[in-house]
Structure 1
Amino acid sequence: MTAMFIVGTAICGLSTLICWIMTALRNHPADSSIISLAAVELYLIVYAVYAGIRQATGATVTGEAWEFWGYILTALILPVGVFIWAVIDKTRWSNLVMSFVGLVVFVMLYRLEEIWWGTTL
């Protein structure tokens, strides 16, 4: 397991937990849920920059590069799309939908680690 994966897992888990709690407590999108989405997005930006620098300096991914970058781009779009949806749908359930970003991004990070290093964690 890499440090980037461990940090990403923590951020995704915390985001999911915050959103679940806010689903129970709020009847509208909670600021804390939106901030947790922003934290996931910020992490993904850092991850993408790190991956770009790593590849630019000669390191290669074990799997297919197009698949690796496809996962990163999809993961980057996901929090933004869900944020837009949550702003439009001002109900309790937008917090629940935001919670799935953390879960989905975690699965994508797991897959990125497999593609990057060629091993299962």
Structure 2
Amino acid sequence: MIEWYTTLQIVVTCAAGLFCLIAGFAGRRPSDLTVGSLALVELLLLIQVVIAIVAPLAGNPPTGDLLEYWVYLIAAVLLPIGGVLWALLERSRWSTVILGVVGLSLGVMLWRMQMIWTVQVA
């Protein structure tokens, strides 16, 4: 993984999560802004998939368990999709809160993925 890109992802996911939480607790239903913030997060995660495929070939292999890393990454890619589907089906303020929880959860998952990639020794 690329450290600066992971940091960028964590900042964006936490910002999107906080934005959605604030909007949800303020009583706002899902909108283009809240759903779009998670769409941006999804785009960053898809780029992370490409980086995870190319990085070992470029001499940056993970030091931790590769299977654990990929399980985290696949789950992280699926979370925004599930959250947006929920928001589009339910369209209540609580689905906006769920989008916020998804965003904050992804921040934690990305931090853990960085630890698996760089810190652990297999």
**TM-score, structure 2 as length reference:** 0.89
Q: CA deviation at 1:59?
A: 2.9
- Alignment map for 1:68-83 (pairs within 5 Å): 68-83=69-84
Quick one: higher RCO (CA 8 Å, sep 6+), 1 or 2?
2
Deviates most, 58-67 or 78-87: 58-67
Pairwise CA distance, 1:50: 0.9
**TM-score, normalised with respect to structure 1:** 0.90
Give the 3-state SS of the residue equivalent to 1:62 in structure 2.
coil
Structure 1 runs, 4 residues or longer, greater than 6 Å off: none
CA contact (8 A) 2:6 2:110 kept: yes
Name stretches of at least 5 consecutive residues in structure 1 with no aligned partner: none
Does the 8 A contact of 2:83 with 2:99 survive in 1? yes
Contact 2:87/2:95 (<8 A) preserved: yes
Structure 1 equivalent of residue 40 of structure 2: 39
- Shift in Å, 1:57: 2.9
Whether the aligned pair in 1 keeps the contact of 2:17 and 2:104 (CA below 8 Å) is: yes
- Superposed CA RMSD: 1.5
Comparing 46-55 with 14-23, greater Cα deviation is found at 14-23
Equivalents in 2 of 1:13, 1:58: separation in Å?
A: 30
Q: Distance in 2 between matches of 1:59 and 1:18?
A: 34
Structure 2: state its 5+ residue gaps.
none
Q: Is the 8 A contact 1:18 1:32 kept in 2?
A: no
Q: What's the counterpart of residue 96 of structure 1?
A: 97
- Equivalent residue pairs, number: 118
Q: CA deviation at 1:25?
A: 4.7
Residue of structure 2 in register with 1:48 after alignment? 49
Note if contact 1:22-1:30 (Cα within 8 Å) is conserved in structure 2.
Answer: no
Quote the Cα distance in structure 1 between the aligned partners of 2:64 and 2:7: 21
**Alpha-carbon deviation of 1:52?**
0.8
**CA offsets, 1:18-47, max 9 Å, x none?**
212321152x21211100110110111111
